[in-house]
């Protein structure tokens, strides 16, 4: 894993993104403290439901994900999409 500063990232964003596309992870540090990691995204659509469940269980076991105690129902999703969807029905996260 590459460990870089903000200045290094700013000076060669494309180079680091190329490394990420090749499967490397890039750890970003501020004042020598890790603050972020750039990793290659995988499309959830390409995972089978069993693979996604296995991945989620692995993240939960590592303490990186907290699984829901109950499964959200249709009413929950209707409220969620009404509040957080953009005009093209893509999720939008508020910066507030």
Give the whole-angstrom CA distance, residue 63 versus residue 39.
Answer: 18
- Domain-located, residue 45: yes
- Domain-located, residue 22: yes
- Domain-located, residue 81: no
This model's pTM is above 0.85: no
Domain count for the chain: 1
Q: How is residue 60 written in tokens?
A: 């939960």
Where residue 48 sits, what CATH number does that domain have?
A: 3.40.1620.10
- Looking from the CA of 52 toward its CB, the CA atoms found within 13 Å total 9
Range of the structural domain that residue 7 is part of = 1-68
91: helix, strand or coil: strand
26-30 and 33-38 beta bridge pairing? antiparallel
- Domain-located, residue 87: no
Tens digits of pLDDT across the chain (96 residues): 889 998 999 999 999 999 988 889 999 999 899 999 998 887 656 778 888 889 899 999 999 899 888 888 889 888 888 887 665 555 555 444
26-30 and 2-5 beta bridge pairing? parallel
Residue tagged 């990793």 (tokens): 39
């Amino acid at each position: 894993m590459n460990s870089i500063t903000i200045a290094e990232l700013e000076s060669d964003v494309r180079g680091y993104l190329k490394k990420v596309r090749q499967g490397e992870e890039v750890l970003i540090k501020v004042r020598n403290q890790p603050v972020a990691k750039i990793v290659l995204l995988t499309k959830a659509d390409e995972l089978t439901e069993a693979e996604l469940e296995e991945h989620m269980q692995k993240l939960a076991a590592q303490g990186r994900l907290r699984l829901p105690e109950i499964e959200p129902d249709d009413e929950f999703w209707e409220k969620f999409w009404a509040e957080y969807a953009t005009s093209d029905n893509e999720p939008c996260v508020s910066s507030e």
